[in-house]
Structure 1
């Protein structure tokens, strides 16, 4: 019976591989599975006939799989395992005594195992030795070290932020994510322990885009963070005790369209030294504050992609342009309440911008009116619920609050505008506007007019150079992402670019495009980092811009000219009718672009699912990184999550290097011809609307390239950490980063390198910290070498950028938010955890 069962398993495996191998070869793929399947079939037939020769043939199959794997992927365990793991396990079962003793025909030496059994055992032994060597070999790791002279330089203080504070998303307006604090060092980081843990109480399990991505602000002995439902929470940064919570009433959020619930952060402004007139008005109590917020929004009915929806949009009226300002917005600044000299600006999910006292957590009247609120639907076309709101903190100067916004990708060709607006820091009145669809139009927008619909938007975080008075905004593209046949000249100019605007007037200083005619959702996703670099003995005021496609552009922030070389390379023109792909794409001296994908890089747990991935790969269109989407499906690598996303890179201005978390996960982009109506053809029933692209000739299905078992079809590593010299563009080191513990059905601690989303920080103490991987850890790295020195387990995914600060007790703290992220599949949570060294 044992012989029959095991022989049948070998026969079935051989048959599947042989038949699938013929299919794969017919598509232009490898013939390896045909050979492997034939050897297994022959082995099974011999064992059915009780011949020990079946063991010899099986041993040959093991050696063939091993040699084939070494030829295709080299001495890399994660590449070899799918090719031989299952076969070796089955081979060990074939050597069990009941099985061997049932094979009568053959030599009887070695107590019945015969020479045949010994040969098979030898083949397994060879495979095990190779596997053992490959497990301690990491061909994708690139060790290196930043020279000691640069590492030993003293930390650099910032003139705009106290050393111990984290006052904006990137700590300073420069967006470097660098702190000069140096109490925690490579020598003592392993001693970090939990100082306190707080739970925000906001977990949205019902929304696919839920993500507690907030990077806390720590200013004047208070920590501020926002939640997916647009709350502000103020904590004691030393104890974690809640000081106050601001909870606006959100209205008009239609579940059918509410695909996101995200707040990446807040903005802080301190006007105590600006000479503003202070009133002696008493502070409102919390009930009055809540009433004012509710009163600021009135329900109306408008058209959303042709479908009537009951929503809330401030003073917007159906069929009429939105007003330029709310009716209550003051024309002149009035005296400000004393506790509102220090304010927090909160972008909400229902498209408002609220000014809140940083001291008391109550609204600050005078910004937009008595309700302290600016309605972000003002001037917007196509008002529709949750189709537009600001997911990232606005940029704040002493004059204005500059707001971009997130527009639903791929829903329709008639969506709100990506226009950028600036509101007076005191009154909330619109002071200037930049409309990418009408860049020479009036600014601010005159009353009774609306912005251009569907134009490129800036959904990520902006940076600011106070000396140049320039705001730098990363730009996306108008909807839809996957088809651009009808884009305008202005769309092509401002889409997927870094845009430098005069912060006082909104005038364009320069624009630099990072992708031409984007049809892959390669928005510029990350905050630009501003840093002064020493190149050829001269100081260059530079801007470092990470991108989804893996390029990191280093530009002169005065002019937008490249500081490090950029070349244009030809790309695939194989597009659907009506599309017009750009002939070339820019490649920077600093590039984390993925290698050209081949069938040999396909992966799985077994040779069967690996073979099926290879079949899927050869059935798709793939001609390199910028292959246009297609009707039969295109492998888009990197996918829309990008090599680098909104977490960006951390820039050390002293060592003049960047620390990054490049990740690699291919997507499949499939276009489906759609009728010219509002029929849904790619959305799942009961789920939010998908990439319907109403008004375009196609809808799109965009999903990760996964195997039948739900694992990536491309072999690991899927994630790294890397250090880059910004003065030369040289990659100093690159290390595989992250385990499959929280990605696999069994919590295995294997270091495969995994994808993730989130950002790193660096410190004057010579460390980098990161929690964005898809396993639930926060890690501390030696900035000089990239080696992991410390890690701590998190209760959920850590898809937020950490922060570090100095407590009033004189100790340096690291704070991490573990909120998870529905789209990358990490566990949702609401934990805020602070770490510090023992007293």
Structure 2
């Protein structure tokens, strides 16, 4: 079996393992789609909900039932609901339990600075006496009693697990490892991915499973194989010692009945130049099926060989029943940033629709060897793959059009064209194009997959990494001006007052240098990591913003600052020992490892979210029974170019947005401009829409309580560029969690 292709042909041992997994699965005790106790609704991450109250006929009657304000703080947290309790992240970085009917506070665990930004996990014992919330915080895994809100101190080592350990690297060199996503539960295991950062020598993104009661590490799957493991020969010798990434930073889906975890993996580091990782690089950019009990690989498929475009698998694999050739097939489907859908038999890994290896251009970079072919599925793409004179944004003023005509004359644009230092590559879609986290959902029973997608290009040009100059500290102002104009101004504004990103004015007065450095170099939220910025330039910028660049460790322990009003039961999580503090990141290749003559990096090239003509963002209904796109609906509101025309969608219109699919034939979707829609699953017709007072950057959730059905949206973010700001209009709601329901009868 060739290492670069799908492991669809199994050894007898692997096939026997799969039979055991299916044969030994436990019986399903309840319908997982009638609750929303997981980040994506249920462990399959389908965002599918079964309830009967809200229908196509009455959805247009929905109204606000209650709002829980979060004050001036905004976050990206997606609520989970257990019985009559809703768990949210709110004021002072607090984890808060609310009455799901009224929004009344039950308890507050304050000051969890550094907590997983997207969501948490809920687990309970079979007798329901032990109920706990599991989450990551400052590179640790911790647990809180879901009933009392207090930390569970006998979990792990004194109440926490150090996630920097057990990765085959010196823990003190790991700056960032916790994922922004909560992971996924399977029985008594929490299966975790990671966010490794995207620099040279980032840590590896191995998949790990922890016991939810003890905190013990139960199993590890090496995403960058170790000697003797399958896939080791697809990398240079000992690459596992220095290559990073290849991580599941997004959503992992679990087939509970079969005990299979479907893991979408991202790119290896460094993303755009791979001379130190020649080969196809398993299991980067792969969908990997693991035995959820043991972490053993059952099968895999690599969607890109030797990725050079940051085309992570970033959205949840969808578990659906597909009807093909008169048979019902339990399938898993994964959508990609580059606009493709790959569909496989969930058990065997056999493609349900043909996939062909097609040739693509070689690299012209020294030491680099782009893989000669890439897998292309036979299903229709849901994005475009080229920027040219014919599809440039028609709303651009003439000056920008002419500039881009000239720019395209000297650049190249084509799918899977390797980045170069000799010309600019205009990649469509780019690193934030196609689907991203939260952008897929499905009806598990009818084979229809719902995809949120955006047409967003990236522009790349590689530059050699030069060693830092000793005299940089003498030119602070010049360094700041150069850095800000090249990397910051597009989002933070001409005068640092904010725009697409927040204001930076005087940010140094209330941020520590270590936090500032981590955000700039590794990225956060919509901001990419600026891997090219040297230490002296970072310090100069931090001084300019009012800060003192003295390095400090994570703030640890039970700080009593900013205790909010309300029923606060604890603060700060558990006390973490000094040895859990981070040290200096890995800076060089290990002794004896082959190394390229030079390193190259590039900007993320995200300055042009509306480079091509609309629609810029859409919701797509993908019929996997027929292999066709059933309907496609533009979403989001743009006031910069299209002036609010709903047929155009919005640039970055579905980034950090999400879906809820109901058993009554509805698809709820959020989009840029604080839009909330309800679509008809059959036709894509808009049956209801509303404009919220604040933007949402989190997944919506749905629940029922005493027969009444609710939809909750975390609408507490600032409006982005090119949208109408609703937060200052008369009658605007406070930023917070907004709960919708049908009116009381």
Query: What's the TM-score, normalizing by structure 2?
Result: 0.73
The CA deviation at 1:737 is 2.2
Which residue in the other structure is 1:171 paired with? 41
Determine which of 160, 163, 181 is the counterpart of 1:376: 163
Give yes or no for contact 1:548–1:642 (8 Å, CA) kept in 2. yes
Query: Which whole-Å CA distance do the structure 1 matches of 2:228 and 2:155 have between them?
Result: 26
Could you list the per-position Cα deviations for residues 259-302 of structure 1 after superposition, in whole angstroms to 9, with x for gaps in the alignment?
Answer: xx86221111121348xxxxxxxxxxxxxxxxxxxxxxxxxxxx
Give yes or no for contact 1:269–1:342 (8 Å, CA) kept in 2. yes
Which residue in the other structure is 1:654 paired with? 445
The CA deviation at 1:487 is 1.1
Consecutive unaligned residues in structure 1, runs of 5 or more: 1-156, 205-211, 252-260, 275-337, 444-449
Query: Which whole-Å CA distance do the structure 1 matches of 2:146 and 2:365 have between them?
Result: 53
Question: Is the aligned partner of 1:753 residue 2:649?
Answer: yes
Determine which of 403, 407, 418 is the counterpart of 1:612: 403
Determine which of 246, 250, 253 is the counterpart of 1:463: 253
Which residue in the other structure is 1:486 paired with? 276
Query: Which whole-Å CA distance do the structure 1 matches of 2:332 and 2:287 have between them?
Result: 10
SS of the counterpart of 1:591? coil
Determine which of 660, 664, 668 is the counterpart of 1:769: 668
Superposition pairs for residues 353-432 of structure 1, below 5 Å?
353-371=141-159, 373-380=160-167, 381=169, 383=172, 386-409=175-198, 411=199, 413-432=200-219
Which residue in the other structure is 1:835 paired with? 740
Query: Which whole-Å CA distance do the structure 2 matches of 1:663 and 1:159 have between them?
Result: 39
Superposition pairs for residues 171-320 of structure 1, below 5 Å?
171-201=41-71, 203=73, 212-226=75-89, 231-250=94-113, 263-273=117-127
Query: Which whole-Å CA distance do the structure 1 matches of 2:253 and 2:633 have between them?
Result: 29
Cα 1:750–1:420 change in 2 (3 A) is: closer
The CA deviation at 1:161 is 4.4
Superposition pairs for residues 718-757 of structure 1, below 5 Å?
718-741=616-639, 743=640, 748-749=644-645, 751-754=647-650, 755=652, 756-757=654-655
* CA RMSD in angstroms, aligned pairs only: 3.1
Determine which of 693, 697, 704 is the counterpart of 1:806: 704
Give yes or no for contact 1:214–1:264 (8 Å, CA) kept in 2. yes
Higher helix share: 1
Question: Is the aligned partner of 1:625 residue 2:415?
Answer: yes
Query: Which whole-Å CA distance do the structure 2 matches of 1:243 and 1:565 have between them?
Result: 53
Determine which of 599, 602, 605 is the counterpart of 1:703: 605
Superposition pairs for residues 514-553 of structure 1, below 5 Å?
514-553=303-342
Query: Which whole-Å CA distance do the structure 1 matches of 2:722 and 2:419 have between them?
Result: 25
SS of the counterpart of 2:626? coil
Query: Which whole-Å CA distance do the structure 2 matches of 1:831 and 1:454 have between them?
Result: 40
Query: Which whole-Å CA distance do the structure 2 matches of 1:617 and 1:825 have between them?
Result: 25
Give yes or no for contact 2:385–2:428 (8 Å, CA) kept in 1. no
Question: Is the aligned partner of 1:435 residue 2:222?
Answer: yes
The CA deviation at 1:543 is 0.7
The CA deviation at 1:494 is 0.2
Give yes or no for contact 1:355–1:364 (8 Å, CA) kept in 2. yes
Which residue in the other structure is 2:560 paired with? none
SS of the counterpart of 1:701? coil
Query: Which whole-Å CA distance do the structure 2 matches of 1:585 and 1:214 have between them?
Result: 36
The CA deviation at 1:740 is 0.8
The CA deviation at 1:764 is 0.8
Query: Which whole-Å CA distance do the structure 2 matches of 1:262 and 1:801 have between them?
Result: 14
Could you list the per-position Cα deviations for residues 157-204 of structure 1 after superposition, in whole angstroms to 9, with x for gaps in the alignment?
Answer: 985446542121221111211111132122211111011111224636
Cα 1:492–1:825 change in 2 (3 A) is: farther
Query: Which whole-Å CA distance do the structure 1 matches of 2:132 and 2:149 have between them?
Result: 9
Give yes or no for contact 1:193–1:836 (8 Å, CA) kept in 2. yes
The CA deviation at 1:630 is 1.9
Query: Which whole-Å CA distance do the structure 1 matches of 2:262 and 2:602 have between them?
Result: 31
Give yes or no for contact 2:109–2:150 (8 Å, CA) kept in 1. yes
Which residue in the other structure is 1:670 paired with? 461
Cα 1:393–1:230 change in 2 (3 A) is: farther
Give yes or no for contact 1:635–1:666 (8 Å, CA) kept in 2. yes
SS of the counterpart of 2:304? coil
Which residue in the other structure is 1:331 paired with? none
Cα 1:479–1:832 change in 2 (3 A) is: same
Give yes or no for contact 1:724–1:732 (8 Å, CA) kept in 2. yes
Could you list the per-position Cα deviations for residues 195-239 of structure 1 after superposition, in whole angstroms to 9, with x for gaps in the alignment?
Answer: 1111224636xxxxxxx3322111111112346986422222211
The CA deviation at 1:836 is 0.6
Query: Which whole-Å CA distance do the structure 2 matches of 1:721 and 1:523 have between them?
Result: 20
Query: Which whole-Å CA distance do the structure 2 matches of 1:783 and 1:735 have between them?
Result: 11
Query: Which whole-Å CA distance do the structure 2 matches of 1:228 and 1:769 have between them?
Result: 27
Cα 1:466–1:824 change in 2 (3 A) is: farther
Question: Is the aligned partner of 1:584 residue 2:373?
Answer: yes
Structure with higher RCO (Cα < 8 A, 6+ apart): 2
Query: Which whole-Å CA distance do the structure 2 matches of 1:823 and 1:777 have between them?
Result: 13
Cα 1:739–1:551 change in 2 (3 A) is: same
Give yes or no for contact 2:635–2:646 (8 Å, CA) kept in 1. no
Give yes or no for contact 1:221–1:807 (8 Å, CA) kept in 2. yes
Give yes or no for contact 2:634–2:647 (8 Å, CA) kept in 1. yes
SS of the counterpart of 1:703? coil
Query: Which whole-Å CA distance do the structure 2 matches of 1:676 and 1:520 have between them?
Result: 25
Determine which of 458, 461, 475 is the counterpart of 2:265: 475
Cα 1:669–1:471 change in 2 (3 A) is: same
Cα 1:387–1:792 change in 2 (3 A) is: same
Give yes or no for contact 1:401–1:423 (8 Å, CA) kept in 2. yes
Query: Which whole-Å CA distance do the structure 2 matches of 1:227 and 1:507 have between them?
Result: 38
Cα 1:590–1:558 change in 2 (3 A) is: farther
Could you list the per-position Cα deviations for residues 719-758 of structure 1 after superposition, in whole angstroms to 9, with x for gaps in the alignment?
Answer: 11211111121111112222213x56x9745542123212
Query: Which whole-Å CA distance do the structure 2 matches of 1:563 and 1:228 have between them?
Result: 47
SS of the counterpart of 2:201? coil
The CA deviation at 1:511 is 1.5
Moved more, 659-668 or 609-618: 609-618
Query: Which whole-Å CA distance do the structure 1 matches of 2:259 and 2:227 have between them?
Result: 20
SS of the counterpart of 2:165? coil
